[in-house]
Amino acid sequence: MHGLNSIRHTSSPNHPMRTSKISRDTARVFRSLSPRNAQNAPVRRSLRNFAHTSDATTDPDEAAVKDEAEESSSSVSSPPSSPASSYGKSASSADETPSSSRKRKRGSDAPTATTSTPISSTSTSRTRRTAIKADPDGSTIPKKTRRQPVKHIKGANGSVKSEPPPNWEEVYNITAEMRKKVLAPVDTMGCESLADTTRSPKDQRLQTLVSLMLSSQTKDTVTAVAMRNLQTQLPGGFCLSSLLSVAPELLNELIAKVGFHNNKTKYIKATAEILRDRFDGDIPDTVEGLVSLPGVGPKMAYLCMSAAWGRDEGIGVDVHVHRITNLWGWHKTRNPEETRAELESWLPREKWHEINHLLVGFGQMICLPVGRRCGECVLSERGLCPSAAVPKVKREKVKREVLVKGEEEGPRVKVEVVEEEGVVLEKASSEAPGLDVPAQAVGGAEGDVVPDVKQESE
């Protein structure tokens, strides 16, 4: 009884996680000593294999538990009649190994031609996810590069070394080539080109500073119109004495089209007084002096130093520079000042002057804040922009009717299937009630499918 109880609690030999090697060997020998089991084992094994291959949706763990229960009950209910008489059979049966494993890995065995595999939505969704993306004209879209921002490495003495993005030069040069082919508003109406060249250098520097103050939250075209009004309608011309004597109401009227014109009128009048009292009638020649003026921020100060004084003290970062460099994955910053610090840590100094003009025009014509034209961008075409918008591919669903066999000798019936890129998505119910149409018949088994009767797109 002790042996029977131990075997009754013994799990299947094909489950090493549930039983030990000794218990598996004991169960195998005990089953081999039973004539009934020796005769029926191949039959049960073949039936078990048939069940595994025919039912593709059965969980392998559930099937193994069922096999374990069947074998345990059969081995206990039929004890051996005579160990001596079954010795020859036990020796040969003990060395036998199962023809197929009961616990199979999912997807390890492909269904054969005679296997009926049901059509499931899971297999269809996998096919859609792994489909190759392509342009509407059929060309393959290159894989986008991943973001590789600047790396800051701390040295032993506390110094910090910044490693630039690995492909920044290629991206920069391609952007410069695109800008040469496109004329942007900043090229003709930028703050650097709005000063009246017929005036004195001091007046030109003042006009450059005022144009930068007006350009905040304003398009270049509007800023250019406002500057033209000041140059033509200010009494005495566009100079410091005219700004000091003009009435605030007239000044506000001349710049009424720019954004926040009421505040900018106050800033310009206050700046004119500061320039007269503190800077001898000229604009400051330092970033600190420019930032001290009302309405002048770091971006305006660095751009003014570059355009008015010809010195590149820093990078002027506006919304375009901040937005585009983050789209390229050069860094992940929250505001333009953080972007400026990141760029100045690794960008060569000879490019500090041109990067603002380059990216502002690129953002005005191609990489717009709303509705980016990635289809016209070479960076997107070559997969160099990690933020490029990939065009969606329109897939076509096709309905068709096929004739399939109901049985070996039965009549053929019409079945309507819906396919997408060669994958069957759904199958209409058969005309014959109770008829189960095998999946291989829909997939094109020889002799089962007649050429399409009807085909339409939806």
Instruction: Give the pairing type, strands 423-427 and 397-405.
Output: unpaired
Asked if 223 contacts 214 with a C-beta cutoff of 8 angstroms, the reply is yes
Beta bridge partners of residue 398, listed in sequence order: 419, 457
Count of residues making up the chain: 458
Classify the C-alpha dihedral 274-280-285-289 as positive or negative.
Answer: negative
Instruction: Report strand pairing: 455-457 vs 160-163.
Output: unpaired
Integer angstrom CA distances of residue 268 from 254, 263, 296: 12, 9, 10
Q: Is 302 helix (H, G, I), strand (E, B) or coil?
A: helix
| Dist. CA 240–CA 243, nearest whole Å | 5
374, two tokens: 């990635």
Q: How many helices (H) and strands (E) does the chain have?
A: 20, 6
- Determine whether 102 is exposed, middle or buried from the number of CB atoms within 10 Å of its CB (0-12, 13-18, 19+): buried
Give the CA distances from residue 278 to residues 87, 239, 283, 292, in Å, rounded to whole numbers and listed in that order.
116, 17, 10, 11
**Would you state the structure tokens that stand for residue 344, as one six-digit string?**
């100045």
- What are residue 399's DSSP bridge partners? 418, 456
Give the residue numbers annotated as catalytic, written as ranges.
299
Alpha carbons 230 and 208: distance in angstroms, whole number = 12
Q: Is the dihedral of CA 153, 173, 353, 182 positive or negative?
A: negative
